[in-house]
Amino acid sequence: MSEDGIDLIFPDLRLPDEAVRLQAQARLDSLTKPVGSLGRLEEVAAHYLAMTGSASAPSLDPVVFTLAADHGVTTEGVSAYPQSVTGQMVKNFVHGGAAVNVLARHAEASLCLVDMGVAEDLGKVAGLLDRKIAFGTNNFLREPAMTREQALQSIQVGMDLAKAACADGKNLIAVGEMGIGNTTASAAIVSVLTGQSVEAVTGRGTGVDDQALKRKIAVVQQALALHHPSSSDAIEVLTKVGGFEIGGMAGLMLGAAIRQVPVVLDGFITGASALLAVALEPRCREYLIASHLSQEPGHRIVLDHLGLDPLLDLRMRLGEGTGACLAVTLIHAALKVYREMATFEEARVSGSLPQP
């Protein structure tokens, strides 16, 4: 669909190249190891190459996008932390002191920090892109989280970020977020787009106690009853109960898929963004890599709905892009195996005996 200057029709979005996947698998099968013995590492390499459309494995040049925004619904007591923590953590990111900074360095990935809608004026800060749409969303228990125009703007920002990253030669995009209250918004989105109950998809987020969890579930239930967002209209869902960073990440996924650049998802919130992106363009799903399984109960529901199998299960629930960074290290490893291991012929090692 096309709306107000943003074109959400992608006729040139191609599916991963199955011929390339078969070519890549043939090389993997010829390497000095029993066929299939590197398990999912082989699967990752072949899938990455099929997505890019080339069997020549490049050196990875990944970028991790951490998008930050605030949520008006935090006034309903749905988080263990005050809204001010979003801005404080963004400053921590800028100064290199957060988990995502450490793990992005470990993954040999550049880190791009984006203010999509933090509820304070952060000023001109080196190392932080200012793409602020508003000073946080509205409290969606009382009114729509944003206008439809703002929802479209958030997606466009993400698509533009992906376009610039790909033009700069980035060949793997990982996504993460920061925003107090965003598991509440994500629970609402996930419930609508998967058809699962609010209770099933809503977790403790920042670590709320039992009473706060009950309140959080009630807030999401009441908001959905108030707004009745249509599962057939992803923009309406984002408008009614979403977040600016959630829309931005959906745009990143769409923008990368158009350019055949794989996207590594993080946890539950990025999963909600993925549901939006796939609802807008189903072929986008083929360019998504699930990094890990979050402790948020709704994350498994998201991944099952998308048909994605996470690479890791480390009981993480931090966000920021931390799980995605760890998966980037595995993709580095998978492509190095593909590129650097010798074949049986090259190494003059005897292959397996024919089976009787």
Three-state SS for 88-122 is: HHHHHHHCCCCHHHHHHHHCCCEEEEEEEECCCCC
Per the prediction, the chain carries an average pLDDT of 96
Q: Encode pLDDT of 160-184 as tens digits.
A: 999 999 999 999 999 999 999 999 9
12 pLDDT band (50/70/90 cuts)? confident
Does residue 350 surpass a pLDDT of 90?
A: no
SS3 content of the chain, % helix, strand, coil (to 5): 50, 10, 40
Which one, of 49, 5, 12, lies nearest residue 283 by Cα?
12
Question: Averaged over 55-75, what is the pLDDT?
Answer: 96
Would you state the pLDDT for residue 137?
98
Question: Averaged over 287-310, what is the pLDDT?
Answer: 98
Would you state the pLDDT for residue 356?
64
Does residue 352 surpass a pLDDT of 70?
A: no
Measured distance CA(286)–CA(304) in Å, rounded: 14
Which is more confident, 2 or 278?
A: 278
18 pLDDT band (50/70/90 cuts)? very high
- The one catalytic residue in 320, 340, 345, 346 is 320
pTM for this prediction: 0.96
Query: How buried is residue 121: exposed, middle or buried, by Cβ count under 10 Å (0-12/13-18/19+)?
Result: exposed
Does residue 241 surpass a pLDDT of 90?
A: yes
Which one, of 57, 25, 325, lies nearest residue 173 by Cα?
325
Does residue 1 surpass a pLDDT of 60?
A: no
**172 with 331: CB under 8 angstroms?**
yes
Looking at the DSSP assignment, which residues form a beta bridge with residue 6?
3
Would you state the pLDDT for residue 249?
98
The CATH number given to 62-330 is 3.40.50.10210
346 pLDDT band (50/70/90 cuts)? very high
Which one, of 94, 169, 145, 79, lies nearest residue 124 by Cα?
94
Does residue 4 surpass a pLDDT of 60?
A: no
Query: How buried is residue 43: exposed, middle or buried, by Cβ count under 10 Å (0-12/13-18/19+)?
Result: middle
Q: In this structure, what token pair is assigned to residue 200? A: 């099933």
Question: Averaged over 89-107, what is the pLDDT?
Answer: 97
List, in order, residues 6 or more apart from 322 with CB less than 8 Å away.
99, 100, 103, 176, 266, 316
Q: Encode pLDDT of 121-153 as tens digits.
A: 999 999 999 999 999 999 999 999 999 999 999
Q: Could you give the angle at the alpha carbon of 168 between the alpha carbons of 165 and 174, nearest 5°?
A: 35
Task: For residue 320, indicate whether it is catalytic.
Answer: yes
Measured distance CA(71)–CA(137) in Å, rounded: 5
Q: In this structure, what token pair is assigned to residue 14? A: 């191609």
Question: Averaged over 241-247, what is the pLDDT?
Answer: 98
Task: Name residue, tokens 């999509």.
Answer: 116
**284 with 8: CB under 8 angstroms?**
no
8 pLDDT band (50/70/90 cuts)? confident
Does residue 5 surpass a pLDDT of 90?
A: no
